[in-house]
Chains A and B, each alone.
Chain A
Amino acid sequence: MTVTGWTFLVVSWGTILSLAIFCFYRTLKKKG
């Protein structure tokens, strides 16, 4: 895999995982 390929993978995964952690943290903090 090229450096660009790795960059796309890391940025995509990182963005999605960060967003998921943020969303679930905020959701679970305010238990519904």
Chain B
Amino acid sequence: MAEWRKEPREAWGSKLGVILAVAGSAIGLGNFLRFPVQAANNGGGAFMIPYFISFLLLGLPLMWIEWTIGRFGGGFDRSTAPGIFETVWQKNRFVKYFGVIGIFGPTVIFTYYCYVESWLLGYGVFALTGKYASCTDHASMAAFLQGYQGLVQNEHFSSVSTAYCFFLIAFAINTLVVWIGLRGGIERVCKYGMLVLFVFAIVILIRVVTLGTPDPARPEWSVNNGFGFLWNSQWGKLKEAKVWLAAAGQIFFTLSVGFGVILTYASYLRKRDDVALSGLTAATTNEVAEVILGGSIVIPAAFVFFGPQGTMEIAKGGAFDLGFVTMPLVLQKVACGQLFAFLWFFLLFIAGVTSSISLALPAVVFLQDEFNLDRKTASILFAVVTFNLCQVVIFFNGQGSLAEMDFWGGTFCVVLFALIEVILFAWVFGMDKAWGELHSGSDIRIPRIYRFIIKYVTPTFLLLILGYWFIQEGWPTLLLEKTPSDKVPFVIGVRVLMVDLFAALAFLVWLAWRKRENREATQ
């Protein structure tokens, strides 16, 4: 323990604990809602070809990179991106500022993710109490959601107050888990949370598979054809570049790589702990949740009750629509629907919590590591700042604040950060040293072809994603081309807020390094 530290450095309780924590961070709403929509809209079974190629060329390499440089940085007592990047590129005094992205991104995502997570908690309670039971079609269920979010006043909700109460509960749970700490809080929640999540998902999966053909008048609306809707292949789609980029994007976001979170988790490993097998195990656990469970619930269930045309429209409506509008309607139509709806929303809530606590960690650990705060003080400080940021998301959601934060914090920063990581790892740290570090204490040997993939293929893939994204989405969004004129002042306000947050974090990094240099000079 460094002499100036208030608290000894935390450690994971077990290898399985850290694997489940990383898997818990990766398994989120996207596994159950985004993946089936992406697969259904981009070629069905044929989508799995670019999906698995992206997993091998993009997802796994990035997973290994984050585990490796995280553990490497942890060996120097550094647990967040600014410090870890500096240990990788020791001669560069500026690289720590690139690391700010690894604290800024997760903090921004935390602020809106926590709010969305609270909707799941709310809907879980509504499922049991039957609050949305009177909504029997898509329009009324969508109106229920809008009323809940405070976007409109209707017979269900007169204000955002109900949503706000659930937000307070969800926020308190997140703060409490982080406040308790790595081993007693995060590791324990992820261990039990993952178990409950998988059990609930399997129960719902069995219910969906046994739906059969509920409407005898429409024998083609069967669960078998529902699976066919997702898995039958449209080979022509593979010729479209956007399908390949959609698959790469899905892999990228589902594995939680590029967030700076896995770096922090891995920094608590010991020098001789395995990272190669652990990274592969965490990634595979995520794939089980995504392809096997996520791919077998919403689309087949929607197909059985809404048919091919209805499911097509639902898939085009996006992930939120699928989760908060379609699934409640579907589960109303099955026996013991209230119970299954509760299980559905609660499993998504658990998936959300295990992800959001990981998002909170980089900023909390940064305050601990660099400013010598104890865990509890750092957690409270983080909670105060993010609680205020959350108000913007809650009260200006209708003005596009959530979408704007997601766009920059949850998309742009993530891809950019991953690109920086892979360049640092393969080109600055050097492939020989990086390969040796990856295999230090390793329980498996990674095929040597990955030396080539990590050095050339993964960065090229990331550049392509970033370039395509910037041309298609980034530039028009930056220029506010797609923003309705009445929302422009709010969107600019959110951007100013994000720039302020980034600048404040960069200043804290500068301050921390100055303090560190002074301390080292004194010693």
Once the chains bind, are A17 and B292 in contact (CB under 8 Å)? Answer: yes
Contact indicator A12/B277 (Cβ below 8 Å): no
B296 to chain A, nearest CB (A): 9
A4 to B224, CA, bound (A): 14
In the assembled complex, which residues on chain B have CB atoms less than 8 Å from the CB atom of A6? 231
- B48 x A8 contact (CB < 8 A): yes
- Is there contact, CB below 8 Å, between A27 and B16? yes
Residues of chain B contacted by A9 (CB below 8 angstroms)? 45, 227, 231
Docked CA distance A31–B292 (Å) = 27
Q: Give the secondary structure class of A's interface.
A: helix
With a CB–CB cut-off of 8 A, which chain A residues contact B277?
Answer: 23, 26-27
**A9-B60 Cα distance, complex, nearest whole Å:** 21
Q: How many residues of A contact B (CB 8 A)?
A: 23
Residues of B within 8 A of A24 (CB): 281
Chain A CB within 8 A of B176 CB: no
* A6 to B231 CA separation, bound complex (whole angstroms): 7
**Contact yes or no, B291 A16, CB < 8 A:** yes
Shortest Cβ gap from B45 to chain A (Å): 3
Within 8 A of B (CB), among A1-32: 1-2, 4-9, 12-13, 15-17, 19-20, 23-24, 26-28, 30-32
Chain B proximity of A13: nearest CB distance (Å): 6
Residues of A contacting B185 in the complex (Cβ-Cβ under 8 angstroms): none
Q: Which one of A1, A8, A16, A30 lies within 8 Å of B287 (CB-CB)?
A: A16
Q: For B443, list chain A residues within 8 Å (CB).
A: 26-27, 30
Interface residues of B in 245-286 (CB under 8 A from A): 273-274, 277-278, 280-281, 284-285
Q: Counting CB contacts under 8 A, is B146 at the interface? A: no
A residues near B372, Cβ cutoff 8 Å: none
Q: CA separation between A15 and B231, bound complex, in Å?
A: 16
List A residues at the B interface (Cβ < 8 Å): 1-2, 4-9, 12-13, 15-17, 19-20, 23-24, 26-28, 30-32
List the 6 shortest-distance A-B pairs measured between CB atoms, nearest first: A32-B15, A8-B45, A1-B228, A23-B281, A5-B231, A5-B232
With A7-B45, A8-B231 known, 6 other A-B pairs at CB within 8 A are: A1-B231, A4-B45, A20-B281, A26-B443, A32-B15, A32-B16
